[in-house]
Amino acid sequence: MTELERQRKQELWIAWIRVFAVVWALLEVGFVSHDYPEGYRTYAWVVTGVLVAGAAVIAWLAQRGLAERGQARLAFAALVFDAAIVYLYFAIYQFEEGIPTRGLVYLAVIEAGVRYGIRGGVALPLVTLPALTAVEWSRAERFAQGDVEPRNITVPLGIQLIMGLIVGGLVKQVWHETRVADERAAEAEELRDQIGRRADQLELVNRAGRALSSSLELDEAFRLFCREISSGVAFDRLALVLAERGRAEIIANVGAAEDTLYPAGTFEQIEGSVLEDLLTGGQPIAIADMLDDPRYPEDRELAKAGLRSRAVAPLGIGGRVLGMISISRSQPDAFTREDLELLTLLGRQLATAIENIRAFDAERTAAEELRRLSALRADFVSLVSHELRGPMASVVGAAATLRQRWRELNPDQRQSFLALIEEETTRLASLVDDVLDTSRLDAGTFSYSFSDVNVEDLVREVTALVDLGQEEVSVRADVQTPLPSVRGDRERIRQVLVNLLTNAVKYTVAGDEVEVRAASDDGYVAISVRDNGPGISSEEQRLIFEKFGRAATGGPKPGAGLGLFIARSITEAHGGSIEVASQKGAGATFTVRLPATAPSLKR
C-alpha cells in the first residue's frame, strides 16, 4: 500500500468517527445537557450545526480521492476544524461544575498524534495553549468570581503533552513497522518478479537450446534458433556472427535491412568492430545510442537503418570466443542488465551448439575420408594387381616361349618377343616408380634439387622423346621464344611434362596429333598440352588430380591413376599450378604455370 492510499483510508476512517461525534453532539446538546446560561444553548446548537456541515464536507472530500498535495491539505484542514470545534464546545460548557467537557481537548491531541506522530501530538497542545488559557480566564471571570485556577491550565496541558508523546510514539512505531513491512513486501514482490523473469529466461534459453540441438546443420539450427528467440525477446534486428580465419562471417540475420545490410553469408573485417572487443574482453557490450554516439563503424550503418541501441554478447565456450550474438532496437538506451545476462546465456548455448555441430562435421568428414581412402585403397590394390598381372604375364609368357622354342623361332620372331619383354618391363618399372614417388610425397621425403631451368630446351627435349617413343600419334611443340627461366628441379619438371604428354598420347586416337605450347604469361611460364581425346567431364576434372583418381571417359586404359597426382604435387612444390580445361568429346588441355625467375631476352 502506498503512503497516499494509507492517508486516504485514514481520512475516511476519521470521517466516520466524526459522523459518530455528530450523533453524540446532537444527543448531548438536545437531551443530556441542562441548565444552560442564557444564550449558551444557542451557541451549542450553532457549533453543532457547524460540526454537521463540516463533517459532511470533509467526508465528501475524503471520498473523492484527492491527489497527494490535496490530501495533505485536507488532513491539515480537518485537524484544524476538529480542534476548533473541540475548543468551542470547551468554551461553551465552561459553566458546568468540574467542567467535564475539558476531556474533549484530549481528542484533538489524539487526532494530531495519529496524523502527524510525535510532532503533531506535541505541537497541538502548545499551539492551543492560548485557547486553553483564554477559556480558564473566561470561566474565572464569569463563573468563579475572578479566581483563576492554574491547575486548570497546567494539568490539561501536561496530560495533552504526555498523551501526545504516547500516541505519537506509538504511531511513529506503527509507521516504522508499516514502512518496513511495505519495503519487505516490495522486496518480496521484486524477488517474485525477478524469479518469474529468470524462469521465463531459462525457459527461453531451454527452448533455444532444443532448437539448436534439433539439427546438425548450422544454417538450419540457426534458423530454428532465431525463430525461438523472436517469440521471447523483443528486437528489431538480430545477427549471429562467427570469427572465421581472421574475418567476421555473418551466419544469420533477421529483422531490419536483413537483405541489404550485412546479409547472411557475407564476410566483414574484425579489426575495429565490436567483435574485436568481444574477442579480447569476452564481456557483453551495450551501446546506448548508435545515432548520437556511434562507437564502432557498423553502428553508423545500423543507425541509418533506423536502429538506435544495440547489445552484443560473446559466443563463449571453454575460455574461447567463437563469435557474437547481436540484438538491436529502434529505441535508444533500450537494454537492461537483465537483457545482457539473457544474451550471455544464449551466447553460451550457441557456442556449445556450434562446437557440437563442428565436432559432428569433423567426425563425419573424417569418416567419409576414411571410407573414401578405404575404397581408394581397395581400388588401388585391385588396379595395381591388374596392372602388375598383365605385364608380368606377358613377360613370363614371352620368356617361356623364347626358352622353349628358341631354335624354332626365326630372328625376327625372337626380336619381337624380346621387344615385348622390354616394353612390359619398362611399364612395370614405371608403375613401381609412381607408387614409390607417391609414398615419398605422403611421407614428405620427396626430394628436390633447385636450379635455374631452361624451359624452352626442356619442352623441346621431352616433346622429341615422347614423339620418338611411339609411332601412332604425332607430338608437336610450339614454343614462344625467348622464354624466361624458372627456378626448380629440372628432373621433376621433366617428370611432370612426361606424365602429361604420355597421358595425352594414351588417350589420343591413332593418326591424330598432340600439341605442346610454352609461353610467357604475366610473370609465369605457361606450358599447355592439348590432345584430341574423348575429353573429361566436369565432375571428373577434380578427381583425376587425386591419388588413384581416373576418369571413366575413354574406356579402360593402363595406369594406376597416380601420374596426375604426382604432377600436381611437383608443380605446387614449385609454387605453380596445374589445371585442366575440357569438355566431354572435345579433348582436354592441361596447363602448367610455373613462376618465372628471369625476364625474357631479345635476340
Residue-wise DSSP of 420-440: HHHHHHHHHHHHHHHHHHHHH
CA 282/CA 536 separation, integer angstroms: 52
**pLDDT tens by residue, 141-168:** 877 666 788 888 888 889 889 999 999 8
Contacts of 117 (CB under 8 A, 6+ apart): 168, 169, 171, 172, 175
Residue 218 phi, psi (nearest 5): -55, -50
Residue 26 is which amino acid?
L
Q: Which residue has the cell 591413332?
A: 510
**pLDDT tens by residue, 551-581:** 655 545 555 567 777 888 888 888 888 888 8
Are the beta carbons of 530 and 587 closer than 8 angstroms? yes
pLDDT computed for residue 603 by the predictor: 33
Contacts of 388 (CB under 8 A, 6+ apart): 428, 431
pLDDT computed for residue 600 by the predictor: 45
Are the beta carbons of 589 and 580 closer than 8 angstroms? yes
CA 420/CA 316 separation, integer angstroms: 69
Q: Which residues of the chain have pLDDT under 50?
A: 555, 600-603
pLDDT computed for residue 397 by the predictor: 77
The architecture that CATH gives domain 218-359 is: 2-Layer Sandwich (3.30)
Task: Residue 270: name the closest of 247, 249, 253, 252 by CA.
Answer: 247
Assigned CATH for 451-595: 3.30.565.10
Threshold 0.75, pTM exceeds:
no
